[in-house]
Amino acid sequence: MLIRSYEITQAVLRAGRDMSSWFLRLEGPDATRGIRPFARKFEQTAAEFADADKGFPHDSGGGSGGAALPGRGAADPYPKIELHVHLEGTIRPEKLLDMARRNGVALPADNVEALSALYRYRDFGHFLEMWRTTTGTMRTEDDFRRAVLDYALEAKAHGVQYIEATFSPINRNKWDGIPYPAMFDGVTDGITAAAEHYGVTVRAMPSLIWGVDRDLAEECARWAVRYRDRGIVGLDAGGNELARGDVSEFDRAVALARDGGLGIVPHAGEAGGVRAIRDVLRWNPDGLQHGIAAAGDPALMAELVDRGTVLRVTPTSNVATRVVADISEHPLPRLREAGVRCSIGTDDPALFGTTLGQEYELAERLGISPASAYRAGVDGSLCDDTVRRQLREVGDSAFGPPHS
């Protein structure tokens, strides 16, 4: 059952004030002034909204009972959708250290300050090295469940309605021997709990890893299909684009996922350039993680527009990994001008020190309005029709009906 964040807020605060009109209707003179009526009412309740969650006992078997929430920004009052976030990259340093100690995993730092200092990357390869080092701390079913819940709570504070998260079970199974059911059960149980307790709708997809044996890719795809009815909606492919090899090695895995009712949203056009995007178009993907290299090829941008492909762009990540030299050079404006639709995500928020609120603010400075990012997220998501309709209702309530 989909439980929306604002509905939960309304229930929590109903005893204190009448909130019956703000969620679905914007009436009176303020109704024609964009998102601000929605924002003012959200701002009035934001602190109470967060307080209602503090101490919720979702951490079984120990733990603090809640994720530390990064500070809110001006972008937080309006609703958001996130389609590009890696579950392993959502774990903030203090949580990561606790998890490593609990699981007996050695990290290259033993305190928050030293660990955070490692999150400054020379280049994309260095980032991947740190990603592999830190994300190997996830070892149990409950680690995956907690990660979903903690990020749902954090995202809720930034107005997030819907999340599609990726996770990398091949690595954990191949390197650490974690059974596939433990990872998939943990993620999907977290999906259920996030909706029930926090009103955030989460869906997930496992990621194939560029360069792995085709048998491993096909095994992962089969497991994903088995969990289709528990919140697994797609199949990703990611890792080092520059070492992706012949992507046709994954054709069978992609076909298994397609036949099983899953979408396909690979990473492409981050560090691998235009060729990486053209390589994966053979799969007729439902979206692209990143895809920003398309900005250098007008013909490719036109093709993406014709296909209706929504890119899942992460501005801070692109600069932090040196894929883009400076935020002033980010290709989002060129993509927008060409008509390529872009949703906005965090990629690995803990590793890049960001939040979805900050990414929406940054995207707005680059010409992508909150309404545009939200609606691209609705249209580019892999959710079912019922969820999509509800998300559109939220968007229309906040931003007004879309222009025809």
Tokens describing residue 93: 């340093």
Q: Is 270 a catalytic residue?
A: yes
Query: E strands within 37-110?
Result: 80-86
For 264, the 3-state DSSP assignment is: strand
Q: Hey, how many other C-beta atoms are within 10 angstroms of the C-beta on 325?
A: 10
| Distance separating alpha carbons of residues 297 and 132, to the nearest angstrom | 32
**Which of 12, 160, 8 shows the shortest CA–CA distance to 78?**
160
Of the candidates 314, 306, 304, the one whose C-alpha atom is nearest the C-alpha of residue 271 is 314
How many Å apart are CA 13 and CA 156, to the nearest integer? 16
Q: What is the DSSP letter of 281?
A: G
Report how far residue 398's alpha carbon sits from residue 240's, in angstroms, rounded to the nearest whole number. 38
Catalytic entry in 141, 164, 218, 270? 270
The angle formed by the CA atoms of residues 264, 206 and 224, to the nearest 5 degrees, is 80
Whether 76 contacts 40, CB under 8 Å: no
Contact 91, 67 (CB under 8 A): no
Beta-bridge mates of residue 202: 163
Provide the token pair at 81.
Answer: 């959708």
In terms of DSSP bridges, do strands 234-238 and 263-264 run parallel, antiparallel, or are they unpaired? parallel
Largest CA distance in the chain: 61
> For helices 214-226 and 180-198, what crossing angle results, to 10°?
40
Q: Rounded to the nearest 10 degrees, how much is the dihedral formed by the CA atoms of 357, 361, 364, 368?
A: -20
In one-letter notation, the amino acid at residue 346 is T
Any idea which residue has 């660990």 for tokens? 115
DSSP letter for 347, please.
B
Secondary structure of residue 204 in the 3-state scheme = strand
Catalytic residues: 270
